[in-house]
Amino acid sequence: MIQIIALLYASENGIEGLREFESKVIPILREHKGKLISASYNEDKTLNEPDEIHVIHFPCIEEFYAYKVDLRVVELSSLKSKMIKKADVYITNNFYQY
């Protein structure tokens, strides 16, 4: 399994723009066995903080890569660039339990 942490910074379209893009890509993500575990935000964030933080799981890196090159996702790249100003993405594959 892999875990993806995505820090999303909205464009001038704000959270509504993020939601528009997400509503189109999340069904495709699910088709590739991806699961959005959580999408959270802080109402009192500062200008330097992300607008939304996603935690996403895929069963393996190959499923994630298949999602990334899915033609429907590729076709949404212009919408993504309109709605997301910046995204910091971190992928992990080793998990430690305390």
CATH code (residue 57)? 3.30.70.100
Q: How many domains does the chain have?
A: 1
pLDDT score for 3: 98
Which residue range forms the structural domain that includes residue 34?
13-42+51-92
pLDDT score for 47: 85
pLDDT category, 31, cuts 50, 70, 90? very high
User: Higher pLDDT residue, 54 or 97?
Assistant: 54
In-domain check, residue 71: yes
Distance CA 86, CA 66 (A): 22
Tens of pLDDT, residues 33-50: 999 999 999 889 888 999
Instruction: Give me Rg for the CA atoms of the chain.
Output: 14
The pTM for the full model equals 0.91
In-domain check, residue 67: yes
In-domain check, residue 4: no
Look at residues 1, 19, 29, 17 and name the one whose alpha carbon lies nearest to residue 94. 1
In-domain check, residue 6: no
User: How many other CB atoms are found less than 10 A from the CB of residue 17?
Assistant: 19
Q: Give the bridge partners for 52, in sequence order.
A: 8
